[in-house]
Chain A
Amino acid sequence: MKDEKKIIELILAGRTAYYGILVERYQNPVFRVIFRIVSQYDDARELTQDVFVKAYESLNQYNPDYRFFSWIYRIAINRALRYIRSRKPYVPLEKIPQREGIATEDASFDFKTREGLVNEAVSALKEQYKTVVLLKYYADLSYEEIAQVLEIPEKTVKSRLFDARMLLKDKLSKNLQYVD
């Protein structure tokens, strides 16, 4: 955290190139969170770029008492959720799981089907559960870090994650039997 505080001080002093360090450090966890929300690679890539540019433009609003990642993830989740709310519903054909006539020899098709089912299951979660799942598994944050991002007690993070797992268990075990 100390090095990030120093990096941000340098950026705000005009040493813009240092921002590249933060982008490199967080681009993939941020991308994975956004990708699981929007489910389209190109859109997720563009949104990830957008998030980092917006974060740079708002850097003087950032409170250095909090860790940079908690701020960037909050921007990323809000941006991605806003994007899908404004987007017309669209489900690519390859993401619709088919229950009959599956070519089981085709592993890539099975992966897409599984990915579609995971996406469907996670997307169907209420926002409070979806965000903890995304931050725990896709951003790989600890309970303490998730609590910082969402500004809720750690106990609440655990409770929501436990509830999310129970909800996902029902959805995934019911549907994945068709894939396996």
Chain B
Amino acid sequence: MLTDNDILIIQKKVGGTLTAKEEDLFRELTASNPEAGKLYKELLNVQRTLRDDVSGIPDVDVTGDVMATIKRKSTVKNVFLAGWKRYYAYAALVVLVFTLGVLAANYLIPPLGTWNNEELAGTMAGQHAASFKDHEEGIEIEMEKYRNEGLLVYMLFVTSRDSLNVEFVPGQEHSEILYFKRIWPGNEPEALLEQNHNEDLVCGENAIFTLANPPVDSEMFFSKNGKLIHKIMF
């Protein structure tokens, strides 16, 4: 029967970290206990198998692609942020919300026949939902919400001196479509969130996020270098 200390000696032998004294102990152990020898061979086999697996993985060269992507993103950023003004963001917002409204009307809402003015009026108007400022951290967040029957969309305008991590944590179980996306700068792939799945995006300087249909008890965390700066609850 092997003791914990015996197993420790064998593990250290496999890992190549035995002291000279421990080497002697190992030799005595394997000479006197067949079980120790067997365990040593089995663990050595694990090590060999893993190392063989590693050596079978082909090399990859992504340097060129990474640098090209960085250069492309940097060029776009310089062009669009050279004269960044908040009203450009609102212009993008109007276009986006109009597009979402058309999509929602066409695909999510049953045909209503004739739309009268009362039904149309006010569906595209945004409501101020929340705002947050921290001058010391250099962060400003404004959130507006838009409702068009069947679709609730939040727009978050984030201005930050430093890069932020933005993490969205869905709340209760949801059966509806749920999207979280950064639409400025660049265009992050749309994250269709499943149950218990968090999405983590990076935001630097200025960014706009959209969030559609967040379930109750969802939370969004804004953090910098692992430090939580602000939290929004839905």
A60 on interface, CB distance cutoff 8 Å = yes
In A1-59, the 8 Å CB interface with B consists of 16-17, 19-20, 23-24, 27-28, 31-32, 35-36, 41, 44-45, 48-49, 52-54, 56-58
- A118 and B197 alpha carbons, distance in the complex (Å): 27
Mask: chain B, 47-91; 1 = CB below 8 Å from A; 0 = not: 101111110111111110111011101100000000000000000
* Chain B residues with CB under 8 A of A35: 57
CB distance from A143 to the nearest CB of B (A): 8
Given contacts A19-B70, A49-B65, A52-B62, contact A118 B50 (CB under 8 A): yes
* Chain B residues with CB under 8 A of A172: 45-46, 49
A63 lies within 8 A of B71 (CB): no
Which stretch from B8-16, B126-134, B150-158 is at the chain A interface? B8-16
In B3-56, the 8 Å CB interface with A consists of 7-8, 11, 14-15, 42-43, 45-47, 49-54, 56
CB distance from A153 to the nearest CB of B (A): 16
A45 lies within 8 A of B8 (CB): no
CB distance from B60 to the nearest CB of A (A): 5
A98 on interface, CB distance cutoff 8 Å = no
Given contacts A16-B74, A32-B54, contact A57 B60 (CB under 8 A): no
Mask: chain A, 129-140; 1 = CB below 8 Å from B; 0 = not: 000010001101
- A118 and B15 alpha carbons, distance in the complex (Å): 19
Partner of A19, one of B14, B67, B162, B194: B67
B60 lies within 8 A of A27 (CB): yes
Tally chain A residues at the interface, Cβ within 8 Å. 49
A169 lies within 8 A of B46 (CB): yes
Given contacts A56-B70, A86-B194, contact A165 B14 (CB under 8 A): yes
A176 on interface, CB distance cutoff 8 Å = yes
Given contacts A20-B63, A61-B225, contact A118 B70 (CB under 8 A): no
CB distance from A42 to the nearest CB of B (A): 10
Closest partner residue, chain A, to B59 (CB atom): A28
B45 lies within 8 A of A173 (CB): yes
B213 on interface, CB distance cutoff 8 Å = no
Q: Report how many A-B pairs have Cβ atoms within 8 Å.
A: 115
Closest partner residue, chain B, to A176 (CB atom): B49
Given contacts A53-B66, A85-B197, A172-B49, contact A161 B15 (CB under 8 A): yes
B200 on interface, CB distance cutoff 8 Å = yes
* Chain B residues with CB under 8 A of A78: 200
Given contacts A31-B60, A111-B56, A176-B49, contact A86 B66 (CB under 8 A): no
Closest partner residue, chain B, to A86 (CB atom): B197
Partner of B67, one of A23, A45, A161: A23
A178 on interface, CB distance cutoff 8 Å = no
Given contacts A35-B57, A48-B62, A115-B53, contact A57 B202 (CB under 8 A): yes
CB distance from B195 to the nearest CB of A (A): 11
Partner of A20, one of B54, B56, B67, B204: B67
B162 lies within 8 A of A61 (CB): yes
Partner of A63, one of B7, B45, B225: B225
A interface residue numbers (CB < 8 A to B): 16-17, 19-20, 23-24, 27-28, 31-32, 35-36, 41, 44-45, 48-49, 52-54, 56-58, 60-61, 63, 78, 82, 85-86, 111, 114-115, 118, 122, 133, 137-138, 140, 158, 161-162, 165-166, 168-169, 172-173, 176
Given contacts A19-B67, A78-B200, 15 further A-B contacts (CB under 8 A): A16-B71, A31-B57, A31-B59, A32-B57, A49-B65, A57-B163, A57-B204, A61-B225, A86-B194, A114-B49, A114-B52, A137-B51, A165-B11, A165-B47, A168-B46
List the 7 shortest-distance A-B pairs measured between CB atoms, nearest first.
Answer: A162-B11, A137-B50, A118-B53, A31-B60, A52-B66, A49-B62, A23-B63
